[in-house]
Amino acid sequence: MITANLVMVEAIMDDFIRGEIDAEIIEDDDSSIYLSIGDLMSGLLMFFALLFITALLQLAQKDVPKRVVIGNVVGQMKSNHINVKVNPETGDISIQESILFAKGSTELKPEGKAFLRSFIPVYSGVIFSKKEFEQEISRVVIEGHTSSDGDDKTNLQLSLLRSSSVYNYIFYEMNFPTKTPLSQKILAAGRGEIESDKYDNPGDRKVVFRFQFRSDELKKDIVKTSL
């Protein structure tokens, strides 16, 4: 009887030990699985981080021609003593209403025409001074802007007619070396009071020459691809 009990105890102990061993093996397997998943997630995070950094570097490289163009525009305006406001980030050139038009008028003043005769050849000359500049600038938009004084419809019409007056004078009454290639890049648009302050700010009455850069279009494509 005692011998039988001993045998039974030994059998129970053997089963217990085997169970412990099996449990340790299962735990080891689970740990291996968790480690594999963790390594995979770390690898994916690293991959997307590198992808993001690569995209940022590409964007920075695409900005180089744009900055060079803007720098040349600023330099030429200063060296030719053309008094305009140039946005150093976008290259936008703002010409105040008082230079080009009488208040409420769409007809260029004589001094406005004189200003365009000095400004446009220099401005256009920068665009076509180098092949890479010409390729970088996909479009030049002449935008008319008004203050918030008056109603929206009238302001929109006024801004469009003013930009059209500038366009017509440049291409129907002026002659300069780069007139033909500039005509293929330029268009007139009216913005009305869209970008104006809520109160009547005279500084909002202006005509803006705005570049559209090819690198900005490429940047949008890069961002879309990397997301």
Q: What is the pLDDT of residues 30-63, one digit of tens each?
A: 566 665 666 666 665 655 555 444 443 344 345 5
pLDDT at 90: 93
* Residue 166: closest CA among 131, 139, 140: 140
| Band (113; pLDDT cuts 50, 70, 90) | very high
**Does position 189 have pLDDT exceeding 50, yes or no?**
yes
Instruction: Determine what percent of the chain is predicted with pLDDT higher than 70.
Output: 67
Residue of 74 and 23 predicted with greater confidence: 74
**Does position 174 have pLDDT exceeding 70, yes or no?**
yes
Long-range contacts of 128-135 (CB under 8 A, 24+ apart): 128/178, 128/181, 128/182, 129/72, 132/65, 133/65, 133/68, 133/69, 133/72, 134/181, 135/214
**Does position 17 have pLDDT exceeding 70, yes or no?**
no
pLDDT at 65: 84
* Residue 143: closest CA among 108, 112, 167: 167
In which element (H, E) is residue 39 found? helix 2-79
Question: How far apart (Å, rounded) are the C-alpha atoms in residues 103 and 5?
Answer: 115
Local structure of residue 92 (DSSP, 8 states): -
Instruction: Determine what percent of the chain is predicted with pLDDT higher than 90.
Output: 55
pLDDT at 150: 85
Q: What is the pTM of this model?
A: 0.69
